[in-house]
């Protein structure tokens, strides 16, 4: 089936609303939403629902009247569909047993412990697609939870998993699903999301914990995978490599790259730090030139927290293993200068809402709104919402914030008045 036909099918069959959040880090995969949120809730935002949830760090996907998340329940990873307005379980589907090697057990005395699935589900048309930590893709009917197709990348594509198991989420772009984890000649896979059929495969790269992103750079749509060799930019149709940027790997790379025009920012913990590459094209030849390199964990290293971009600046949790105390920072591009920082967030996550408001979820369960301004940290609202360890990206869909910890899940009403 041709790619443009797939795009048409996904467009026709989708039930997504304009401000839904169909996949990891939102509709554009850049951690942003067009939603404008209310920030006058210092006395505490309205919590529509809060439920006991399974373990893990999977974030929500939201489509129509359902929200989807992967949880650890007992020894199994389970895809859970909940009602958006009530939090009631509508259906569950087991993905299989899983072990993670203890990577999620780090933390402070208050939030230590609690591990589980790290990958987030993706909504494609009338299907919801989940990736098990052993790199097995499952597709279910979003309305009923009935299995539709399954693709075991470990068995069918000579898969090569990673320590602490897969954490990357499937990327949907242009009606095609993109994943990694296969062996030689098939490290990168383009998959029909409606059938599970492989449309293209290429590459001999080792995976990281980072989710790929899609972006248009110099007029060319491309899929960016953050692999152990560095950044790999691929043609969406053929998976042919457009350009490559070397970037050192050590233990784990978990934050996704951030695209700012013709610049691509990337970062990792474990002493690696950050870099930015300027992308150029001469004729048909692409080139990635390193224009910034900030080594080490102290300045702008991202452990697993991907920053958001606004006004040419990055906002996010630039820190490494500073549980409970690490700062949120504003850093400039392309030089990486830190304009300001504010302690007390830990390695949580951020998303960007309309008008330049950043919504952060601290690792201790505080929901915080602050202004994306480079001159100074300006806090707009803060409230403790969750108990347990929160290493999960908050989600904003149609004015509602969906958040979770290793113990609880909640929906907070942030609809603008």
DSSP bridge pairs for 383: 367
Contact (CB, 8 A) for 353 and 396: yes
- For the segment 380-414, what is each residue's pLDDT rounded down to a tens digit? 999 999 999 999 999 999 999 999 999 999 999 99
Structural domain range at position 57: 3-413
Instruction: Enumerate residues 6+ apart whose C-beta is below 8 A from 219.
Output: none
- With residues binned 3-state (H G I as helix, E B as strand, rest as coil), the percentages for the chain, rounded to 5, are 5, 45, 50
Q: Which tokens go with 198? A: 């492989």
pLDDT in tens, 62-94: 999 999 999 999 999 999 999 999 999 999 999
Task: Report in angstroms the alpha-carbon separations of 192 from 100, 139, 230, 353.
Answer: 29, 11, 26, 31
Please, which residues have CB within 8 angstroms of residue 323's CB and are 6 or more apart in sequence?
A: 106, 107, 108, 111, 346, 347, 363
Domain of 199: which CATH number?
2.140.10.10
Per the CB < 8 A criterion, the answer to whether 120 and 60 are in contact is: yes
Helix (H, G, I), strand (E, B) or coil at 5: helix
Q: What is the pLDDT of residue 11?
A: 42
Angle, CA of 394, 396 and 398, to the nearest 5°: 160
Per-residue pLDDT of the chain (417 residues; tens, 9 = 90+): 444 445 444 443 344 455 899 999 999 999 999 999 999 997 889 999 999 999 999 999 999 999 999 999 999 999 999 999 999 999 999 999 998 876 666 655 455 567 889 999 999 999 999 999 999 999 999 999 999 999 999 999 999 999 999 999 999 999 999 999 999 999 999 999 999 999 999 999 999 999 999 999 999 999 999 999 999 999 999 999 999 999 999 999 999 999 999 999 999 999 999 999 999 999 999 999 999 999 999 999 999 999 999 999 999 999 998 998 899 999 999 999 999 999 999 999 999 999 999 999 999 999 999 999 999 999 999 999 999 999 999 999 999 999 999 999 999 999 987
Question: Structurally, how many domains does the chain consist of?
Answer: 1
Q: Is the peptide bond before 334 cis (omega within 30 degrees of 0)?
A: yes
What percent of the chain lies above the pLDDT cut of 70? 93
For 135, the enclosing helix (H) or strand (E) is none
- Each residue's pLDDT tens digit, 211-237: 999 999 999 999 999 999 999 999 999
């Amino acid at each position: 089936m041709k790619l443009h036909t797939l795009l048409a099918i996904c467009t026709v069959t989708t039930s997504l609303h304009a401000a839904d959040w169909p996949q990891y880090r939102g509709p554009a995969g850049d951690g942003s939403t067009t939603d404008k949120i209310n920030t006058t809730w210092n006395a505490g935002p309205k919590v529509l629902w809060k439920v006991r949830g399974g373990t893990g760090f999977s974030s929500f996907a939201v489509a129509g009247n359902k929200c989807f998340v992967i949880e650890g329940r007992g020894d199994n990873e389970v895809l859970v569909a909940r009602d958006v307005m009530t939090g009631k379980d509508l259906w569950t589907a087991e993905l299989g047993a899983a072990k993670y090697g203890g990577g999620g057990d780090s933390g402070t005395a208050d939030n230590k412990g609690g591990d589980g699935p790290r990958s987030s589900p993706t909504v494609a048309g009338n299907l919801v697609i989940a990736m098990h930590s052993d790199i097995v893709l499952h597709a279910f009917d979003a309305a009923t939870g009935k299995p539709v197709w399954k693709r075991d990348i470990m068995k069918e594509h000579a898969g090569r998993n990673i320590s602490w198991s897969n954490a990357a989420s499937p990327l949907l772009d242009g009606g095609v699903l993109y994943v990694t984890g296969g062996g030689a000649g098939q490290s990168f896979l383009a998959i029909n999301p409606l059938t599970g059929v492989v449309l293209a495969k290429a590459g001999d790269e080792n995976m990281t914990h980072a989710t790929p992103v899609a972006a248009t750079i110099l007029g060319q749509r491309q899929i960016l995978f953050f692999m152990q060799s560095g950044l790999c930019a691929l043609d969406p149709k053929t998976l042919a490599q457009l350009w490559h940027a070397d970037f050192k790997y050590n233990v784990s790379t978990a934050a996704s790259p951030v695209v700012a025009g013709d610049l691509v920012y990337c970062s990792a913990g474990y002493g690696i730090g950050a870099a930015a590459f300027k992308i150029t094209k001469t004729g048909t030849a692409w080139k990635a030139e390193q224009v910034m390199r900030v080594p080490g964990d102290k300045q702008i290293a991202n452990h697993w927290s991907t920053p958001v971009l606004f006004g040419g600046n990055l906002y996010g949790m630039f820190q490494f293993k500073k549980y409970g105390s690490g700062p949120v920072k504003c850093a400039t591009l392309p030089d990486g200068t830190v304009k300001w920082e504010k302690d007390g967030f830990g390695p949580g996550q951020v998303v960007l809402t309309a008008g330049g408001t950043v919504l952060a979820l601290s690792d201790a369960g505080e929901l915080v709104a602050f202004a994306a301004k480079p001159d100074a940290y300006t806090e707009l609202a803060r409230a403790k919402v969750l108990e347990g360890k929160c290493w999960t990206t908050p989600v904003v869909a149609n004015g509602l914030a969906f958040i979770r910890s290793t113990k609880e899940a909640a929906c907070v009403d942030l609809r603008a008045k």
